[in-house]
Amino acid sequence: MEQVCPLCNGLTDAGITCKNCGEAMKDGGMWSDYIGPYAPYEMTAHVKQQNGGQCTHLMHCAHCGNEAYAIIQSDFI
Ligand SMILES: [Zn+2]
Ligand SMILES: [Zn+2]
């Protein structure tokens, strides 16, 4: 079995709704993609996933432009 983030692997939607307008928010990608190469290695989502079975995603609302971080719990597959 392997512990993976279902969002990273396209297995599921996050099911996060926008606090502003209530629309379903889209996965904007892993947090580390936004921080870029200058972030400390400890801050990347991959490390978080390994340490706590969790993955941080930046969610984006296409309706109103709101953005929010979502902590996604990894599943065993
Ligand atoms: Zn993920
Ligand atoms: Zn919205």
Whether residue 30 contacts residue 47, with contact meaning beta carbons closer than 8 Å, is answered with no
* Structural domain total, the chain: 1
pLDDT attached to residue 35? 53
Half-sphere exposure of 6 (CA within 13 A, CB side): 13
The Cα–Cα gap between 63 and 21 comes to 8
Ligand showing the shortest atom-to-Cα distance for residue 29: 1
Instruction: Please tell me the distance between residue 63's alpha carbon and the centre of ligand 1 in angstroms.
Output: 22
Residue span of the structural domain in which 40 resides: 3-76
Whether residue 19 contacts residue 66, with contact meaning beta carbons closer than 8 Å, is answered with yes
Instruction: Please tell me the distance between residue 25's alpha carbon and the centre of ligand 2 in angstroms.
Output: 7
pLDDT value at 5 more than 90: no
12-50, pLDDT tens digit by residue?
877 899 999 999 998 876 555 555 555 444 444 444 444
